[in-house]
Structure 1
Amino acid sequence: MFIIVGILLIIGLVHSYFAISLNLSENESILIVDNNNAPPFVYLHNFSKSLGFSNDNPIEKQANIIKTNHSTKYTFITKYFLPDRWNNLDLKSSTNPNRGINKTQYWYNCQSICIDKNSFYIFSSSGYNRNLGFIVKYDMNVLDKYPIETLRELGLYSNLSKSIDTNNKDFKSIKIGENFLYGHGQSLTYDKKTDSLWMINDTDFKGNETKVLQINKNTLKPIKEHKFKVKYLNRYLNGFNTLAFDEDGFFYSEKIIKSKNNPKGDTLIIRGKIHESGIVEVKPMALIKNRPGTIIQSIAINQKNNKLYLVSDGAIYSLPLDKLNDKTLRKEDFRYSTFNSEREFEGLSFDGNGIAYLLIIRGPEVLVSSNFN
Structure 2
Amino acid sequence: MHWAIKAGIGVLVSAGSFTAMVSQPTHASAATYRRTAATKVASKPYYTTSNTGKTYTFSGSLKKTKMHANHALKSYHNSTWTRTKQAYVYKGNRKVRYYYVKSAKNGATGWVASSYLKAGKDYQAKTAKKTTASAYDKVASHTGKIYQISGTNNYVKLKAKTSLNANLVYTRTKTRVIYKRGRAYTYNYVTAGSTHGWVVSGDIVSESSIGKTKVTSKANGLTSYATNGNVLSPYRSQDFSTVNSSGYTMGKITYTYDSDYSTTNSFQTAVHTLPLTKSTNDAYSKYHFKTAVYLPIDYPGFSRKSILGNPQSAAFSKDDHYLYVMYNDNQQASDENQTGWVIRYDWTKLNQLLNASGSSLSMIRRATNRYYRGTTTALDRQVLACMKVGPQFKAGHVQSLALNPKTNQLWFIKAYKNSTTATVQRLSMSTLKPNASVNFTLKSTVHMGSVLSFDNSGNAYFWTQTKSAWPTAPVNSVKFYKGTLGVNRVHFSLVKQGLSQAPGQVLQSMSYNSNNGRLYLVSDESIFSVPANKLGKLSTADVSRSNFSGKREFEGLVWQHTSNTGYLLTNKGPELMKVVAN
Residues 278-306 of structure 1: CA deviation (Å, up to 9, x unaligned): 22111111332211001110000001000
Which has the larger share of helix? 2
**CA distance 1:255–1:320, change in 2 (3 Å):** same
Task: Quote how far apart the aligned CAs of 1:81 are.
Answer: 0.3
- Aligned AA (2:568): L
Check conservation: 1:182, 1:203, Cα contact below 8 A. Answer: no
- Counterpart in 1 of 2:437? 225
- Rounded to whole Å, the distance in 1 between the matches of 2:260 and 2:460 is 38
Q: Which stretch has the larger CA shift, 112-121 or 310-319?
A: 112-121
- Aligned AA (2:567): Y
Gap regions ≥5 residues in structure 2: 1-138, 141-210, 280-284, 355-359
Task: Quote how far apart the aligned CAs of 1:57 are.
Answer: 1.3
Other structure's SS at 1:158 match = helix
Residues 237-292 of structure 1: CA deviation (Å, up to 9, x unaligned): 1151100011111111122212357775212111121355x221111113322110
- Rounded to whole Å, the distance in 2 between the matches of 1:27 and 1:103 is 49
Task: Quote how far apart the aligned CAs of 1:356 are.
Answer: 1.1
- Rounded to whole Å, the distance in 1 between the matches of 2:449 and 2:235 is 24
**Total equivalences in the alignment:** 352
% same residue: 24
- Aligned AA (1:253): F
Other structure's SS at 2:381 match = coil
The correspondence for 1:331, drawn from 522, 540, 553, is 540
Other structure's SS at 2:364 match = helix
The answer on 1:322 being equivalent to 2:540 is no
- Counterpart in 1 of 2:365? 152
- Rounded to whole Å, the distance in 1 between the matches of 2:271 and 2:361 is 8
- Aligned AA (1:23): L
Check conservation: 1:213, 1:225, Cα contact below 8 A. Answer: yes
- Counterpart in 2 of 1:75? 288
- Rounded to whole Å, the distance in 1 between the matches of 2:417 and 2:236 is 33
- Rounded to whole Å, the distance in 2 between the matches of 1:54 and 1:87 is 22
- Rounded to whole Å, the distance in 2 between the matches of 1:166 and 1:10 is 40
- Rounded to whole Å, the distance in 2 between the matches of 1:35 and 1:132 is 39
The correspondence for 2:501, drawn from 269, 282, 290, is 290
Task: Quote how far apart the aligned CAs of 1:18 are.
Answer: 3.7
- Counterpart in 1 of 2:322? 119
Other structure's SS at 2:492 match = strand
- Counterpart in 1 of 2:56? none
Task: Give the structure-1-normalised TM-score.
Answer: 0.85
- Rounded to whole Å, the distance in 2 between the matches of 1:236 and 1:289 is 21
- Aligned AA (1:339): F
Other structure's SS at 2:378 match = coil
Check conservation: 1:323, 1:329, Cα contact below 8 A. Answer: yes
- Counterpart in 2 of 1:310? 521
Task: Quote how far apart the aligned CAs of 1:34 are.
Answer: 2.9
- Rounded to whole Å, the distance in 2 between the matches of 1:69 and 1:27 is 38
**CA distance 1:288–1:243, change in 2 (3 Å):** same
Task: Quote how far apart the aligned CAs of 1:83 are.
Answer: 0.9
Task: Quote how far apart the aligned CAs of 1:7 are.
Answer: 1.9
- Aligned AA (1:270): Y
- Aligned AA (1:124): Y
Greater relative contact order (CA < 8 Å, ≥ 6 in sequence): 1
Q: Which stretch has the larger CA shift, 265-274 or 354-363?
A: 265-274
Task: Quote how far apart the aligned CAs of 1:171 are.
Answer: 2.6
Task: Quote how far apart the aligned CAs of 1:339 are.
Answer: 0.2
- Counterpart in 2 of 1:94? none
Correspondences of 1:18-97 after superposition (within 5 Å): 18=227, 21-25=230-234, 31-36=240-245, 38-54=246-262, 57-71=265-279, 72-87=285-300
- Aligned AA (1:143): L
Residues 63-100 of structure 1: CA deviation (Å, up to 9, x unaligned): 110111112431211111011221459xxxxxxxxxxx
Check conservation: 2:314, 2:325, Cα contact below 8 A. Answer: yes
Q: Which stretch has the larger CA shift, 170-179 or 152-161?
A: 152-161
Residues 220-239 of structure 1: CA deviation (Å, up to 9, x unaligned): 110111233324xxx52115
- Counterpart in 2 of 1:359? 569
- Rounded to whole Å, the distance in 2 between the matches of 1:216 and 1:159 is 26
The answer on 1:211 being equivalent to 2:423 is yes
- Aligned AA (1:137): R
**CA distance 1:20–1:306, change in 2 (3 Å):** farther
Other structure's SS at 1:210 match = strand
Residues 149-169 of structure 1: CA deviation (Å, up to 9, x unaligned): 011111222164766337734
- Rounded to whole Å, the distance in 2 between the matches of 1:119 and 1:136 is 10
- Rounded to whole Å, the distance in 2 between the matches of 1:141 and 1:227 is 35
**CA distance 1:127–1:85, change in 2 (3 Å):** farther
Correspondences of 1:216-255 after superposition (within 5 Å): 216-231=428-443, 236-255=445-464
Check conservation: 1:108, 1:361, Cα contact below 8 A. Answer: yes
Other structure's SS at 2:511 match = strand
Other structure's SS at 1:106 match = coil
- Rounded to whole Å, the distance in 1 between the matches of 2:532 and 2:454 is 11
- Rounded to whole Å, the distance in 2 between the matches of 1:111 and 1:78 is 18
Correspondences of 1:339-354 after superposition (within 5 Å): 339-351=548-560, 352-354=562-564
The answer on 1:188 being equivalent to 2:401 is yes
- Counterpart in 2 of 1:92? none
The correspondence for 1:168, drawn from 354, 375, 381, is 381
Check conservation: 2:243, 2:538, Cα contact below 8 A. Answer: no
RMSD: 2.9
- Aligned AA (2:491): E
Task: Quote how far apart the aligned CAs of 1:28 are.
Answer: 11
Other structure's SS at 1:141 match = helix
Check conservation: 1:268, 1:284, Cα contact below 8 A. Answer: yes
The answer on 1:132 being equivalent to 2:339 is yes
- Rounded to whole Å, the distance in 1 between the matches of 2:490 and 2:514 is 23
Residues 95-124 of structure 1: CA deviation (Å, up to 9, x unaligned): xxxxxxx96461111111111212211111
- Rounded to whole Å, the distance in 1 between the matches of 2:414 and 2:508 is 15
Check conservation: 1:30, 1:287, Cα contact below 8 A. Answer: no
**CA distance 1:268–1:151, change in 2 (3 Å):** same
Check conservation: 2:367, 2:380, Cα contact below 8 A. Answer: no
Check conservation: 1:109, 1:124, Cα contact below 8 A. Answer: yes
- Rounded to whole Å, the distance in 1 between the matches of 2:240 and 2:559 is 27
**CA distance 1:13–1:291, change in 2 (3 Å):** closer
**CA distance 1:338–1:103, change in 2 (3 Å):** closer
- Aligned AA (1:122): V
